[in-house]
A and B are shown apart, each in its own frame.
Chain A
């Protein structure tokens, strides 16, 4: 119970911190080498590697619309629908599938009070540091953007217009750190 809620909150916080990140700080920040961290206290953290796949062989729903991936007439990807207007239509990300692999995503809390070409001394505060993995590998990542009359594809009167489809394959190089910290009036 609490684990689920925590994950949600942490993800939210990351997003919030990104939104709050001042542009000036982003512009001046430069990578800080491991040696520069040697005199920084409280820097223990975790190092994450692995792979995550979405609907590799299908999802748990089996009905007239969803099925296993070997069933040619069924959709085996995940589906996300939302609407911005009461009684309006639904924007849909449909047939979401794919696999992401990464190595070396780090997470820690860190104090920045030096470095960064002098900006660190001015900055002088604690941050959550997400050390980005060098490479994130996308394998058969795909989804469709669509507009739908109903949230569920099995609801009466269901109609859907696929707008475009995305497929991603290959490596994305992500170097450096993502720093998340509070700003503004809490």
Chain B
């Protein structure tokens, strides 16, 4: 492994010898003379049976690329159940009548482990360690002749893995997949040399796998075990299950992006697949998955990143593909949100005048305060184009022209609940962000089909907490802990810091078909954001996906709220929003509003019509969200719910307004309450909060023309005419004065929202007017809203 052979023939020769090398390497670890008793265990009726207990160790395995090395240190192979002992390997070798080599193998309780992955150019830092436990039973047949000629090989293989564990360790803490089982069958796999490329083709790979639990351990004494002190099972994030049928083609060529290295080209077709996340018996299921993707010119090098840091470099030429998820199911009722389709192209592109590529530089270290072990990913990405569509009950909306770009460091550590080197860490897998400059934008919505006209309406995504366009510089972390509100699940702690943010609240397209143009809209610019979440649990339950937040507070300071472009749009001034919540929760469940009487009352079509309403059967799919937001009373200037608007600021030498130098309006300490102290603890109860139930469907909506004459696309109609979709019309629609039943079914699609918001009491402590010299003057000494129940039936339709 210390030298990489360059030519494909040499690579081929190496691969021919690979099975033998594996057995040879295995044999080196424990080779000894066999006595008669041991010899009797070799059953040679129709071949040879080899059996051994393998226990081996190596201080370091190194891979060199252009003189730079990556090392696997503390490499061990042995028994996973009896540390220090060997793992049983039994292989039966037979030569078939067609000169094929047939191997049947059994491996029991094997652990393959290395304690550190280090780069020679980064002394003192490690990417952390990995361990892999498994028992394996299967067969492998190798015969002469590949897909393109007699010089290649054809493989048939099938195996079952049981008792698997795959873990990642840093600084004594581990996250691992526990109780893995996997069965795979791949027949007719061919290996050939095509030109200067080694080509591996798998016409059909079928299999399934499951992970019994994803566990977290903060106790190195119980390394690699499913249970901790007292035999109590370690906390679990939940379980996974999947099945798949796919075919693939992989090409491997010598040569990295620079000098030595490896080039990989790959394509996979997913014929069918499913994926389930299971939490205490309740599943989030992605079913009927199909798709394909192609990796073009992926290079592997040991290199340096853009800051000259030693790294294992993965650089990508292009990745494109599409994935369709036929049904997203959640909860006990087997209800589905609908289906999702994503198409994407990742390749080099210029965003905002700067070129971006797709590259990942793996380095050791992680967060500098977490210890010497961890993973640092210097990352750059360029999503040139993606379309994401959502279909429910046959109605489809496409988020079109999604682009994203970014560059910066992502760190990964497994951490425990402690303050270490001055930094607060939490139990779990910590994903950190270090100077990550990134952005994304959406061009618009398309309704119905991929070639439908581009429309506006991306601001509807705000209902999901997503800005239509966003650029930012990100620091902070999200730590995913094991265990939910009860049993399996997730516990999230996070601290997020954003600088130089530019977020669109309303955004016009960035490309209307004639090339890129500055994206106009309503922008929040010169934004800083600080958000903290403590003990937010995420569980899949019978009702749906349940998120309960212990405490969350944030501070978003928008330097300018601009209309126009994000750089030179006119400004409304500064806006600062603070939020502070305790005990808020959200439940997301499949299924929308069902049958709705819009504009009337009634539980049937006839009674609804009698009341003057319109009966709408919105189907079984859709999204329902139940939220409870408990706005806590202020606990100082950093933890409160408040809104501040500032204008008339002094500008600096560059003409930039200086925050805090103008006139301010402050709405201070907005909080909810149950309306009294009912438990007698001396403070008002605050358990009800603001409760909102939302049911969202994609449904046909009534859109009428507001003025007579041609519209913005030149389609003529009279005021009050209805817009009816018509694929035969030049613009895809026409206006109809009195649509019949056949035309009503072709009304345009939009988002239908049935909502109810209620709260017992919402208070504002004070509203102040603040002058930069005169100080604060209170204008309103308290406001109180009580007993509100607001219900709405709204349809929001994108329009061109």
Residue B593 at the A interface, CB < 8 A? no
A11 to B: closest C-beta gap in Å? 10
Interface mask (B700-743 → A, CB under 8 Å = 1, otherwise 0): 01111111011111100000000000000000000000000000
Residue B161 at the A interface, CB < 8 A? no
Contact A63 B778 (CB under 8 A): no
Report B-chain residues with C-beta under 8 Å of the C-beta of A45: 456-457, 459, 506, 798-799
Report A-chain residues with C-beta under 8 Å of the C-beta of B512: 41-42
Contact A61 B787 (CB under 8 A): yes
Q: How far is the CA of A154 from the CA of B760 in the complex (A)?
A: 13
Once A10-B505, A81-B783, A181-B570 are accepted as A-B contacts, the answer to whether A46 and B579 lie under 8 Å apart by CB is no
Report A-chain residues with C-beta under 8 Å of the C-beta of B556: 5
Contact B794 A61 (CB under 8 A): no
Residue A44 at the B interface, CB < 8 A? yes
Once A43-B456, A128-B563, A186-B573 are accepted as A-B contacts, the answer to whether A52 and B792 lie under 8 Å apart by CB is yes
Report B-chain residues with C-beta under 8 Å of the C-beta of A158: none
A142 to B: closest C-beta gap in Å? 15
Residue A59 at the B interface, CB < 8 A? yes
Residue B675 at the A interface, CB < 8 A? yes
Q: How far is the CA of A41 from the CA of B667 in the complex (A)?
A: 37
Contact A182 B795 (CB under 8 A): no
Interface mask (A166-186 → B, CB under 8 Å = 1, otherwise 0): 000000000000001111111
Contacting A12 at CB < 8 Å: which of B552, B645, B781, B789? B645
Once A4-B690, A34-B706, A49-B702 are accepted as A-B contacts, the answer to whether A186 and B572 lie under 8 Å apart by CB is yes
Nearest A residue (CB) for B714: A38
Contact B789 A46 (CB under 8 A): no
Interface mask (A26-57 → B, CB under 8 Å = 1, otherwise 0): 00000101110110111111111111111111
Contacting B706 at CB < 8 Å: which of A51, A109, A134, A183? A134
Contact A43 B712 (CB under 8 A): yes
Contact A9 B760 (CB under 8 A): no
Contacting B522 at CB < 8 Å: which of A40, A48, A109? A109
Contact B782 A83 (CB under 8 A): yes
Contacting A86 at CB < 8 Å: which of B509, B705, B778? B778
B180 to A: closest C-beta gap in Å? 37
Q: Which of A35, A52, A154, A186 is the most central at the interface, judged by chain B CB atoms within 10 Å of its CB?
A: A186
Contacting A49 at CB < 8 Å: which of B572, B794, B800? B794
Contact B758 A59 (CB under 8 A): yes
Residue B57 at the A interface, CB < 8 A? no
Once A4-B690, A152-B676 are accepted as A-B contacts, the answer to whether A60 and B760 lie under 8 Å apart by CB is yes
Contact B643 A3 (CB under 8 A): no
Query: Among residues 649 to 681 in chain B, which have CB atoms less than 8 Å away from a CB atom of chain A?
Result: 649, 657, 662, 675-676
Q: How far is the CA of A172 from the CA of B648 in the complex (A)?
A: 37
Report A-chain residues with C-beta under 8 Å of the C-beta of B569: 126
Contact B649 A185 (CB under 8 A): yes
Q: Which of A16, A45, A66 is the most central at the interface, judged by chain B CB atoms within 10 Å of its CB?
A: A45
Contacting A152 at CB < 8 Å: which of B460, B786, B799? B786
Report B-chain residues with C-beta under 8 Å of the C-beta of A180: 563
Report A-chain residues with C-beta under 8 Å of the C-beta of B122: none
Once A1-B584, A60-B760, A108-B506 are accepted as A-B contacts, the answer to whether A51 and B792 lie under 8 Å apart by CB is yes
Once A59-B788, A79-B785, A125-B564 are accepted as A-B contacts, the answer to whether A34 and B711 lie under 8 Å apart by CB is yes
Contact A44 B444 (CB under 8 A): yes
Q: How far is the CA of A83 from the CA of B647 in the complex (A)?
A: 25
Report A-chain residues with C-beta under 8 Å of the C-beta of B508: 41-44, 108-109
Contact B657 A50 (CB under 8 A): no
Report how many residues on chain B are interfacial, defined by Cβ distance under 8 Å.
98
A180 to B: closest C-beta gap in Å? 8
Q: How far is the CA of A176 from the CA of B782 in the complex (A)?
A: 37
A13 to B: closest C-beta gap in Å? 6
Q: How far is the CA of A6 from the CA of B463 in the complex (A)?
A: 10
Report A-chain residues with C-beta under 8 Å of the C-beta of B563: 109, 125-128, 180-182
Report B-chain residues with C-beta under 8 Å of the C-beta of A53: 790-792
Nearest A residue (CB) for B674: A61
Report B-chain residues with C-beta under 8 Å of the C-beta of A85: 781
Contact A44 B465 (CB under 8 A): no
Residue B15 at the A interface, CB < 8 A? no
Report B-chain residues with C-beta under 8 Å of the C-beta of A17: 572
Contacting B704 at CB < 8 Å: which of A10, A35, A104, A107? A104
Q: How far is the CA of A115 from the CA of B744 in the complex (A)?
A: 36
Nearest B residue (CB) for A45: B456
Residue B188 at the A interface, CB < 8 A? no
Contacting B571 at CB < 8 Å: which of A41, A90, A186? A186
Residue B629 at the A interface, CB < 8 A? yes
Q: How far is the CA of A106 from the CA of B701 in the complex (A)?
A: 14
Contact A50 B598 (CB under 8 A): yes
Report A-chain residues with C-beta under 8 Å of the C-beta of B798: 44-47
Residue A160 at the B interface, CB < 8 A? no
Q: How far is the CA of A61 from the CA of B688 in the complex (A)?
A: 10
Report A-chain residues with C-beta under 8 Å of the C-beta of B598: 50-51
Q: How far is the CA of A151 from the CA of B571 in the complex (A)?
A: 37
Report B-chain residues with C-beta under 8 Å of the C-beta of A46: 456-457, 459-460, 796-799
Q: Which of B509, B598, B788 is the most central at the interface, judged by chain A CB atoms within 10 Å of its CB?
A: B788
Q: How far is the CA of A124 from the CA of B549 in the complex (A)?
A: 47
Report B-chain residues with C-beta under 8 Å of the C-beta of A78: 785-789
Please give 14 more A-B residue pairs, beta carbons under 8 A apart, in addition to A44-B444, A54-B789: A1-B581, A3-B465, A33-B707, A42-B512, A42-B521, A49-B701, A55-B789, A59-B758, A59-B760, A61-B760, A61-B761, A82-B784, A104-B703, A128-B563
Q: List 14 A-B contacts (CB under 8 A).
A: A3-B462, A31-B707, A43-B712, A44-B444, A45-B456, A47-B703, A50-B795, A55-B787, A79-B784, A86-B781, A88-B781, A90-B784, A103-B704, A126-B520
